[in-house]
Structure 1
Amino acid sequence: MTARRVRAWIVGSAAILVSVVVFLVPFAFVVLQAAKTPAEASDLKFSLPRSWQFFQNLVAVLQSGDGLIWRAFINSAVLTVASVALMAIVAAMAGYVLARKRSKWGPTVNFFVMAGLIVPPAVVPTIWVLQALGLFKTMPGMILIETTFGLSICILLFRAFFNTVPTELDEAAIIDGAGRVRLFFQVILPLLRPVIVTVIVVQSVFVFNDFAGPLYFLPGTDNATVQTTLYTFAGQNLSYYNLLFMDILLITIPPLVAFIFFNRQIVAGMTSGAIKG
């Protein structure tokens, strides 16, 4: 075995070990706590349950709060689908304009796009704006908030990808009689599948896992999302850590499944925009 292969084996083994420690160990801890009795779970020890109560805890969580977890999953699904769909469409169009159109306003627009990644959200002024528009504590208002928070990174991804698409394609479509709208939706948009999948999966996980946004801008049990159920559940049942960890496990499953099935598409979308962008 050559020295290069030995180094590659060592690096690969170290990467696997780090992955196990960072991802699998915490996940195993959550599963074990979710299968324990309240007394055992309150110790927060990394140990096997003396009495397995996994399915009993699962049923208890699903039935708690008059079906709060079911309403939360529905609200999170609506919020995630609507926000990510709006985010992808607006970011794709904005990225296309920024990549293709050169004007004196370009640097200014790019500055505000970058500022969206750096400047933290202002909670109180945002609440004032939502109240003035009549959108505070409403799902449409929360959808607009999530779309705004994720728009900057999506625009950067789309703009970088558009830099890999030759402008001759646009010119050929225009010569054939296609307008700007038809050019974008029928010629350009089908080429964006890798980056669209990346945006959908990454931003879906981000919106689904968002805790602070719904807590500030969408209060109330009727508007609860899956992340705010942790706050409500922990506040009402401080001693029932087994049910709290079962709730965490239920919330972890959808993003985990999404990354397992779409990890190659995510990498392809990231790299396709980074190589030539």
Structure 2
Amino acid sequence: MVTNKRTVWNICKEIFAWVLSLLILVPMVVILFNALKTSGEAINMSIAPPSKLHWENFGEVWRVGNILRSYINSLIVSVFPVLISVLCASMCAYVLARRKTKGNLAIYTYFALGLMFPISMVTVVKVTKLLSIYNTQLGVVLVYTALILPLSVFLFYGFLNSIPKELDEAAIVDGAGALRIFFQVIFPMLKPVTVTVIMINFLNCWNEFTIPLYMLPDPDKAVVVQQVYNFYGTFTASWNLVSVTILYAIVPVLLVYICGQKYIISGMVAGAVKG
């Protein structure tokens, strides 16, 4: 009887998973179909397949939207914050995990609070203008770094708590200093959570739309997701070209996620549970 109940429950879970997957795939199918339609066919953004495949839409968007330059801009404002956050967050989390003083607990709590509260774009824009980094990629890199640091510290901290302190003590006996202990002993052991932090933060930076929209008004510095506005106006929109732009923006994200989804899941579990 118990076995039958479990079988029914497993079947229900599988059905739910398939239905949920189909619901998630519907928007992707709509975007793909409309990217291959004419402007007139795509005006309703329906799920109906195109009457004829218009592959030239991809070439037009690549040319008009200057997608190659946008890819480079997106890589700049995505890769550098990730590298900075990995270095700073891992070292910070190492100190917080090894020296659990009241002051360090307050610092960790401060980082944890950073996961809960949204930013104010008005404040961010005013501060970047005050520092003369508004409308610069440096400004966006610094803002992104500040945004992704809390989660990075949280994940590294949880993983570091699972690494025994005896390794540090053994390295100290061998005469290693603090930096040597961290980079030669501890950091190589952080590979699982480091890969997770890199991938999650890269995806978050790549997909961010609001910050570059307000901080990078110069078209030459626009990232890929901003190029939607080239084909979308107040009174008219070329929905087929908008769909193509969306595809250009999400294809790298899909490739990254497909290649590294096991690292994202395992690293999240390790960082959250082991702590």
1:38/1:242 contact within 8 Å kept: yes
Which of 111-120 and 92-101 deviates more?
A: 111-120
Give 1:236 shift.
Answer: 8.3
Q: Distance in 2 between matches of 1:75 and 1:132?
A: 23
Moved more, 133-142 or 157-166: 133-142
| Range 147-156 or range 104-113, more displaced | 104-113
User: Could you tell me which residue of structure 2 aligns to residue 132 of structure 1?
Assistant: 130
Question: How high is the TM-score relative to the length of structure 2?
Answer: 0.94
**Correspondence for 2:82:** 84
Equivalence for 1:238: 236
**Partners of 1:164 and 1:273 within 8 A in 2:** no
Distance, in Å, in 2 between the alignment partners of 1:148 and 1:116 is 9
Deviation at 1:153, TM superposition (A): 0.8
Cα distance between partner residues in 2 of 1:267 and 1:156:
15
1:15 maps onto 2:17 in alignment: yes
Q: 1:50 to 1:147 in 2, by over 3 A?
A: same
| Aligned counterparts of 2:249 and 2:268: Cα–Cα separation in 1 | 26
In structure 1, which of residues 141, 144, 148 is the aligned counterpart of residue 142 of structure 2? Answer: 144
CA distance in 2, matches of 1:60, 1:99: 52
Post-superposition offset of 1:8: 1.3
Q: Deviations over 1:222-270 (max 9, x none)?
A: 1100111113431389331101101111111011111111111111111
Paired residues in the alignment total 273
Could you say which residue in structure 1 is the equivalent of 2:206?
208
Counterparts of 1:254 and 1:239 in 2: how far apart (Å)? 25
Match of 2:269 in 1: 271
Residue in structure 2 matched with residue 255 of structure 1 by the alignment:
253
Q: Which SS does the other structure have where 1:51 is aligned?
A: coil
Single out whichever of 112-121 and 166-175 deviates more from structure 2: 112-121
Contact 1:157/1:273 (CA < 8 Å) preserved in 2? yes
RMSD over aligned Cα atoms: 1.6
Alignment partners' CA distance in 2, 1:235 and 1:87: 36
2:67 — aligned with what?
Answer: 69
Q: Does 1:221 align with 2:223?
A: no
> Residues of 1 paired with 2:231 and 2:51: CA distance?
25
Q: Determine the C-alpha separation between the residues in 1 that align with 2:117 and 2:51.
A: 49
Show the counterpart of 1:186: 184
Partner of 2:92: 94
Q: Helix, strand or coil for the counterpart of 1:91?
A: helix
Task: State whether residues 37 and 51 of structure 2, in contact with CA within 8 Å, keep that contact through their aligned partners in structure 1.
Answer: yes
Tell me which moved more, 196-205 or 13-22.
13-22
Query: Match for residue 156 of structure 1?
Result: 154
Give the C-alpha shift of residue 276 in structure 1.
Answer: 2.4
| Separation (CA, whole Å) in 2 of partners of 1:59 and 1:161 | 46
> 2:58 corresponds to which residue?
58
Amino acid in structure 1 at the alignment position of 2:28: F
Is 1:168 matched with 2:169? Answer: no
Q: Secondary structure of 1:178's partner?
A: coil
Q: CA separation in 2, counterparts of 1:46 and 1:102?
A: 55
Using a 3 Å threshold, how does the CA distance of structure 1 residues 152 and 163 change in structure 2: closer, same or farther? same
Query: C-alpha distance in 1, partners of 2:191/2:259?
Result: 16
Residues 231/115 of structure 1: CA separation in 2 closer, same or farther (3 Å cut): farther
Query: How many angstroms apart in 1 are the aligned matches of 2:9 and 2:17?
Result: 12
Query: What is the Cα deviation at residue 128 of structure 1?
Result: 2.5
Gaps of 5+ in 1: none
**Aligned to 2:168, what secondary structure does the other structure show?**
helix
d(CA) in 1 for partners of 2:86 and 2:236?
39
CA distance in 1, matches of 2:234, 2:224: 16
